[in-house]
A and B are shown apart, each in its own frame.
Chain A
Amino acid sequence: MILAADPLLVDGIDLTVALIVLLKAGVAFAMLLVSVMLVIWFERKLISDMQNRIGPAMAGPWGILQTLADGIKLFFKEDLLPTRADRVVFRLAPYLSIIPAFVAFAIIPVGGDFTNGGDGTVSMFGRSTLLQVADPPVGVLFFLALSSIAVYGVMLAGWSSGSKYPLLGSVRASAQMISYEAALGLAIATVFLTSGSLSTHEIVVGQSATTWNVLATGIVPFGIFLIAGTAELNRPPFDLVEAEQELVGGFHTEYSSIRFALFFLSEFMNMITMSAIAVTLFLGGPAGPIVTQRLAWVWPLFWFFLKVMAFLFTFVWLRATLPRFRYDQLMDLGWKVLIPAALGWFLLIATLDTARDLGWPTLPVVVVGVLALWGGAALLSGAVRKARAERLEEAEAHRDERADSTVGHGEA
């Protein structure tokens, strides 16, 4: 009964239902593959636009088939296996990366009418169903779990390569993805608090009833989600994992041929999924005005597409504009800024919720809450500053000591 939220599965499962589920899964799979192809082309084209270049232009109209050509080329390349590699894990890692990327998209509602109290069901072969492959009650947790599995893909790929650059890259990747997942999770927790559900469908329905979560949660979690999401995807400016100047290709340095293509695909697929999750959690999913009554079912799909495109554009824009973070800056931002901010905001939203339930006046609660947060922030930054000062002092003393000892040697 884990999928029971979908009205399709409520009245028992017969052949039609099974076929509809299969159809949805198949269409989602195919669409995801095609859209990954187009997203890679879109990124290359857009980034070349932002750099006064032309970008891919030869394969198909406007080079739109470039990714297909690259994929075919990679498919026919020799598949290298390093001598020192751990063979089983080396072969397994790309699948640990690509399968979560595919499966995570299953919980995204891509269409359905949510206007005027609509619950987003569509009629398909005489059955009403949701336009998402699955709607588990633990939806967003499912997404977080899968993105954690994807970390294994990256980590094991680097570890099993038996080579130093992949190992360093994967150490960076796992540290970065784990620490930013905390901020990401806390930002999402704020959404759970306002929506009162973990199911993506329920979250979208809740947003169409009131206001989009980006406003309901007060923008800050949205900003944290965007930053942490970019870091989670290992995209610039947080692409230390694949810093070419330092690590060659990062965790996939030793990979070639179709295995490399799988990593590449999953990277872009994660980018689409992260955009879709952001749209679902914060921007009302496929909600939007139905402009024409003819082909009314197209409009939610169109709004969903438009919102996802806005995120994809932002990701590429970030890449075109920002230089890469230094590793300590990255960790500072994650642990000392984003996690405390997300946690503080979560507490504030929780306090406001409780205050509303208990009938306390809003304004004093807000004032006290903000003051408490401010006090906490001051304490935290004070602690950080003191720790740094102590470290500097220690280093200074150490240096003096060494200077003394060298002078002593010189005299002797």
Chain B
Amino acid sequence: MGYLRGFAVTFAKMFEKRVTVPYPDAKRAKPERLHGRHVLNRYEDGMEKCIGCELCAGVCPANCIYVRGADNPVDDPVSPGERYGYVYEINYLRCIHCDLCVEACPTQAITETKLFEFSFTNRADAIYTKDELVVDAETGRPQHLPWEDWREGEDLATSGWMRATSPSGDATQVGRVAWSGELGYGVRSPEVGQSADREPGEGT
């Protein structure tokens, strides 16, 4: 009568925990390194990190990034260096969220949040401009744009993938801090990496 065991299985399932999350009302916790929409970060003093070097635009396989650099105004500099990105646009109808721009960036200016719940009703709205991408000047948090679905705590790990390895993707750099601090968060601690027994910051 082995086939009767199947009935016990289905019966017992009725009292188990459900795997379904009633999505729009509740959200499943997202993985730390999920690739979502980008942010342009600021240094802890509020200066923008982007230097307008266009490496992100060069590396982008989907050609979705458009950057124009300009010399910093002498009396009111936007970034600490010589130049800053004065146009920065990402077309989210093209972006494939591969994170190559994040790896290419020499100043960790661009990182990805975990947000993917946003939509548009026309093509022009799909192009995020610098005003929308750059983090809030007071708190350093990503801007919660009205058509995006941000929930409590979802804007915390906005640079997860970058801190998982190193900016250059070199395995010997795992666990070593090689990035600058960010407005509102300070210097973020590195992830442990592939081998769990290693302490954060220990290196190889």
Contact = CB atoms under 8 A, between A and B. Distances in A.
Interface stretch (A46-54, A225-233, A325-333, A343-351): A46-54
The size bracket of the interface on A is 10 to 19
Interface in A49-77: 49-54, 57
A361 B56 CA distance: 98
B20 interface: yes
Interface in B1-58: 6-7, 9-11, 13-14, 16-20, 22
Contact of B22 (A51, A54, A320): A54
B145 to A, nearest CB: 27
B13 to A, nearest CB: 5
Contacts of A320: 10
A53 B11 contact: no
Contacts of B11: 50, 317
Interface in A14-70: 46, 49-54, 57
Given A321-B6, A321-B7, A322-B6, A49 B14 contact: yes
Interface string A293-333: 00000000000000000000000010011100000000000
Residue from B6, B9, B18, B22 whose CB has the most chain A CB atoms within 10 Å: B18
A52 B6 contact: no
A57 B7 CA distance: 25
B13 A49 contact: yes
B45 to A, nearest CB: 49
A51 B11 CA distance: 10
A199 B64 CA distance: 78
Nearest to A318: B7
A52 B20 contact: yes
Contacts of A322: 6
Nearest to A322: B6
Interface string B109-132: 000000000000000000000000
Nearest to B17: A52
B14 A50 contact: yes
Contacts of A51: 13
Contacts of B14: 46, 49-50
A321 B10 CA distance: 6
Nearest to B20: A54
A54 B17 CA distance: 10
B20 A53 contact: yes
A52 B18 CA distance: 5
Given A54-B22, A57-B22, A317 B7 contact: yes
Nearest to A49: B14
Nearest to A319: B10
B147 to A, nearest CB: 23
Interface of B: 6-7, 9-11, 13-14, 16-20, 22
Which 10 pairs between the two chains have the least Cβ-Cβ distance? Answer: A54-B20, A49-B14, A50-B10, A320-B10, A321-B10, A321-B6, A52-B19, A50-B13, A53-B20, A321-B7
